Amino acid sequence: MTIQWFPGHMAKARRQVTEKLKLIDIVFELVDARIPMSSRNPMIDEIVSSKPRIVLLNKADKADESVTRQWLEYFKEKGISALAIDAQTGTGLKQITQLSKELLKEKFDKMAAKGIKPRAIRALIIGIPNVGKSTLINRLAKKNITKTGDRPGVTTAQQWVKVGNELELLDTPGILWPKFEDQLVGLKLATTGAIKDAILNLQEVTVFALNFLKEHYPHRLKERFDLEELPDEVVPLFDVIGKKRGCIMPGGYIDYDKTSELVLREIRADKLGRLSFETPKQFTEINS
Ligand code: G4P
């Protein structure tokens, strides 16, 4: 579900996360491994500054492995703990408890020294819509917890979900908004499927995706669409893909909407292989 984030919703979502933070020891910030920056909330550092945090690069099964390694290195250099995971199959989830224990050792040692009875670590999952929060909670809990919906402002009673003996999760995640005022961020979110198509100009998203693939994954593009050469411009590329796949309108014109749907569907279904749509280098270049 795609949320329409109005200022009131944002303020409410932020308030709810702040309330939840009071109950927990550590935050698991879930991002999409294919776009770790674009799938973050723009104010996350400020919002969770009071708590230790692990960045979880989810859907790592869909991302380019070499780029994911670069991202893990990037976060490490910034002193931020990060793990690559696949919430759907459970890959990488075992490390979450271990890393949480390491990050909270001092706090828990202090509590023990004061004679406070040992307890499980309490955690909150935070992320933008569609990043895999419910999938992760269900995986960790090893049961199906009903999805409460992505509507910011929906209040439900807080409940703890046990993950083994050493970790407890709040059963409702913190839902925050993406940096959608940045057009490039919107295009990347749309390409990966985080924003639903109804509210977007599909052709615009596909132009972005094809240009990106042409530059970063030309061989995948050639192989998938059976192309000898890649045209320099994006419109002829659209044309040739449309023609090859039979997206033709009466009169022989290329059906760009149909071609767009097809290209995006195939990207999202990993038909062009594992893809990442941003690298740490792109961000360090911008910031330096
Ligand atoms: P949310 O609570 O953060 O909103 O996300 P949710 O768990 O509903 O996950 C969104 C979609 O992403 C789901 O697909 C889910 O199966 C998929 N997903 C979550 N984690 C992973 C992962 O690690 N790897 C892969 N490959 N997929 C993952 P869906 O139900 O098909 O929804 P949609 O794609 O139609 O939006």
pLDDT digits (tens, 9 = 90+) for 155-180: 556 789 999 999 999 999 999 999 98
Which residue is closest in CA terms to ligand 1's atom 36? 130
| pTM listed for this prediction | 0.94
SS (H, E, C) 129-169: CCCCHHHHHHHHHCCCCCCCCCCCCCCCCCCEEEECCCEEE
Helices (H), 217-255: 218-225, 234-244
Which of 35, 57, 88, 147 most suits a substitution to test ligand 1, by most atoms within 8 Å of the C-beta? 88
Which residue is closest in CA terms to ligand 1's atom 25? 59
Ligand 1 atom closest to the Cα of residue 86 is: 23
Q: How far is CA 274 from the centre of its chain?
A: 15
CA of 130 to the centre of ligand 1 (A): 6
Backbone angles phi, psi at 81, to 5 degrees: -70, 135
- Give me the pLDDT at residue 152, please: 56
| Predicted confidence pLDDT, tens digits, the chain (288 residues) | 566 789 999 999 999 999 999 999 999 999 999 999 999 999 999 999 999 999 999 999 999 999 999 999 999 999 999 999 999 999 999 999 999 999 999 999 999 999 999 999 999 999 999 999 999 999 999 876 655 555 555 555 678 999 999 999 999 999 999 998 899 999 999 999 998 766 789 999 999 999 999 999 999 999 999 999 999 999 999 999 999 999 999 999 999 999 999 999 999 999 999 999 999 999 886 554
- Written as six digits, the tokens of 146 are 């009903």
Q: In this predicted model, what pLDDT tens digit does every residue of 53-105 receive, in sequence order?
A: 999 999 999 999 999 999 999 999 999 999 999 999 999 999 999 999 999 99
CA of 30 to the centre of ligand 1 (A): 12
CA of 246 to the centre of ligand 1 (A): 30
- Written as six digits, the tokens of 16 are 């709810």
CA of 257 to the centre of ligand 1 (A): 25
CA dihedral 181, 35, 91, 93 (to 10 degrees): -50
Which of 34, 85, 135, 145 most suits a substitution to test ligand 1, by most atoms within 8 Å of the C-beta? 135
Ligand 1 atom closest to the Cα of residue 85 is: 23
- Give me the pLDDT at residue 197, please: 65
CA of 136 to the centre of ligand 1 (A): 9
Ligand 1 neighbours (beta carbon < 6 A) = 58-59, 61-62, 86-88, 127, 129-135, 150, 193
CA of 114 to the centre of ligand 1 (A): 42
Task: Measure the CA–CA gap between 134 and 127, rounded to whole angstroms.
Answer: 10
Query: What count of residues does the chain have?
Result: 288
